[in-house]
Every structure is written in structure tokens, then in C-alpha cells.
Amino acid sequence: MKISVFGLGYVGCVSAACLCDLGHEVWGIDVDPGKLDFILRGQSPIIEEGLGELISKYVKAGTLRATTSAAEALSSTEISLVCVGTPSLESGALNIEYVRRVAAEIGAALKSCGHRHLVILRSTMLPGTTRRELLPILERASGMKEGEGFFVAYNPEFLREGSALRDFYDPPKTVVGALRKETAEHAAQIYAKLTAPLFLTGIEEAEMVKYADNVFHAVKIVFANEIGAIAKPLGVDSHRVMEIFVADHKLNLSPYYLKPGFAFGGSCLPKDVRALAAQAHEANVKTPLLFSLMDANREHVQRAVKMIQSFGKKKIGLLGLAFKAGTDDLRESPMVELVEILLGKGYQIKIYDKNVSLARLVGSNKRFIETVLPHLTELLCPSTDEILEHAEVIVVANSDHDFPPVLEKVKPHQIIFDLVRIFPESPRHLPNYHGFCW
């Protein structure tokens, strides 16, 4: 393929050289004549192991060229990769001015391009930026509509400084988002020689993936550092602790707890978060991430309350009360907290949970519910039919396998509010279905 790479900074230089190595012909475009001079002399404008050798090789071979002219590059290529920087403003917001300028340049060059062109954004941008900000610029500047004279895709990069070439050839995944599947498939052909898992998705999902990755990396670093800060005054080897921690691929390093849903609860997580936070406080160790967890969890419950309030209905039916399916454990169940808040706001509530019976509750589980929700007997229903008869809003509170067939019986005026994503795919045949975080 013949590819233009806009922006010869870190991502652009690596992408341009490695794409040549995959067999493509590449034009590099940048407004900085200094960067172009480096490239044209077969040298790398940045320090990255192995990059200089690649640039030298493909400049000599004639498959890597450089120019300041978008029109010259587009006339000779079929695909453009936009890799310009998106630095922070003083406010912390993202500065996308450079991407806007490149979009306008590409749009203007498309007028005289003479063939259909695929524009792929690689610059890190917040979800919605491509569709809301850049697509209109491309259409105005070109006088064309996306899907006619040109196509747009978003393809985040996952390159780390110091290991960027290895990351390019062996990425954890390849993600391409587009307005239509055929566009995404075409864009993905650039990386046909790579063996990474391929995900074709919408543009906004592709934009968001990059932020999910980087912010989670930041969370992991802070988490490990806070564990170390607490372990140090206790005389505990934090590296040994984390070595054991990361060996668990069933729960710790896995998808298990990484699906958006409702708040955490139960007899373990809240208790242990508070205990470790108390230990840190006692040792006079500041651990902001750890201290924020319970507040963040309570805020998630409040989000659910606000969504229920937004429906403007007072009769609520809950499918599930325990903190997860297959248990009768009500201790610190976020659903119990949700019910308590809604009752205080005057909502009429009925609950069905086949595993919850006051007659069977014992010990601390029984004491908890007697303290927090003493009128539970009056709220429990013996069947889902009673929930369907009562509710204007049906709240799906755990992922019991019995619940999907129940939801197929809802009437057109009834709202389904799903806290657990009971359906793997959005149920389009249920018009009043509302997912919590999706």
C-alpha cells in the first residue's frame, strides 16, 4: 500500500519506518523542516533503538520519502495516517489544534487528489473528537461527504518509548474504528502481516480504548506504589507480595472484575478496603487511591439513584437483592443501599430474589439486614409475576439466569433498568431498555 504519515514525531516516525518494513511505500509529512532534513538524510529525528537503521535503509531504497506538501503526498498515496501530537492545555483539556490543521490540509488536498482516499487518525483524542470535530473539517475542506470521495477510520497506537519498534511488530492488539465495517477492514489491511488480535469497532469505542489503557496503567502504578508504601513500615517485602499478586491470572490479572456494572459489595471487599485504609492512616501513610475507593463506590450507587429518578416513575421492582447471583449474602450489598435510599425518597418497592428468605438468614447476614433494612419482609415477593404486575421500572440487580425470560414479558409502558448487562448484546427488541454504564 502507498501511505502518507502526517506528523514525524515519536509515533509518526516509528509508524513510517515500520510500515516501510512491512512492505508499504510511505511519504512522511511535517511542517518542521528540521525533521524532514533528518529523514531525507536517512537519520532519525528521535532517539529510539533500531529506528535510525530502519529509516536509513528505506530512504536509500526509495520507499520512504518526506515532504511538507500534503497535496504532493496525497497524490501519490491511497491512505493517510494522522500522527500529530495532542498536548495538554493549561486547563488539562486536550489541544487538538494540530489535528484540526492537518484535517484541513488533507481536506484541501483531497480536491485535487484524483482518487478515493482513506484517512486514518492515530493521534490520541477523546471519544467523539473524530466524528464531532475532524470529520466536518474534512468534509468542508474537500467539498465531499465521508463515504464518497474519502473514508475515515480511527486506529489508536500502543507504543512505549524505548520499546516502540518491538511494540509495533508485536502489539497487544490492533484496534480499528470506523463508520462502516468495510472501512475498518480496509484500514486493518495495513497490519495484515502482524499477528495481534484484531478488533473492528465504532470510532468512539476505538478512541476510548486508548484512554482506558493508559489510565488503567496509571491506576496500576499508583496501586502498586500505595501497597509498597503501606508494606514498608510493616516490614513486609512489597515486591514479593506483588510477585504473588500478579501470578493470579484467574482474578487479579484477568477480565473478571473489569466489566462496567454496579457497585461492589459483599462481606470481603468493603471490609478489606476499609481495613487497609485504616492501617495506612495508623502508619501516617497517605494513600489517596485507596482512600478514594469507598467514596467512588458510593458515588456509583448515587448514579443509579439519579437514573431511576430520571424515569419519573415511583413503582420499582427489583430482580435480585444479594450482591451477586447464586448467593443469599446481603452484607453490604449495594442493592440494599439502593433500596434504602429509594425508600427514603418515597418509592414503592417490591423485590424478588429466589435465594433470599428471612427465615433462612442467619448470623451476621441476618443482623445486617435487620439493622439496615428492617422492613424487608414487606418488600419481598414470592414470584417474578408479582414484580411484573407492580413495577413501572424493573431494576435488574444481579445476573441470575432466570431473569432474561422474565424481561421478555415486560409491557410497552414498563422500563427496564439493567445494572449488570443481563443481555450480552443490547436488546433492541425491548424499546424501554436502559443499561447503566452502556
> Are the beta carbons of 172 and 92 closer than 8 angstroms?
no
**Structural element, H or E, at residue 10:** helix 10-21
- Would you say 110 and 152 are in contact if contact means Cβ atoms under 8 Å apart? no
Nearest to 399 by CA among 255, 261, 200: 261
Q: Does the annotation mark 381 as catalytic?
A: no
Q: Give the cell for residue 298.
A: 458510593
Residue with cell 484524483: 114
Chain centroid to Cα 92, Å, comes to 19
CA distances in angstroms from 76 to 55, 57, 59, 310, listed in the order given = 20, 21, 16, 54
* DSSP for residue 87: P
Q: How far apart are CA 269 and CA 258, in angstroms?
A: 15
Residue 232, SS3 per DSSP: helix
The answer to whether residues 351 and 336 touch, using CB atoms and an 8 Å cutoff, is: no
* Residues making up the chain, counted from first to last: 438
Task: Concatenate the DSSP letters of all residues of 36-60 into one string.
Answer: HHHHHTT--SS--TTHHHHHHHHHH
- Decide if 314 contacts 348 (C-beta within 8 A): yes
C-alpha 360/C-alpha 355 separation (Å) is: 9
Q: Among 176, 169, 222, which Cα is nearest to 199's?
A: 176
Sorted by sequence, the CB contacts under 8 Å of residue 193 that are 6+ apart come out as: 22, 23
Strand intervals (E) in 150-244: 150-154, 174-178, 198-201
Residue with cell 456494572: 261
Marked catalytic residue, from 83, 113, 268, 437:
268
Residue 54 corresponds to which amino acid?
Answer: L
Q: Residue 373 and residue 362: Cα distance in Å, rounded?
A: 15
Catalytic positions are 268
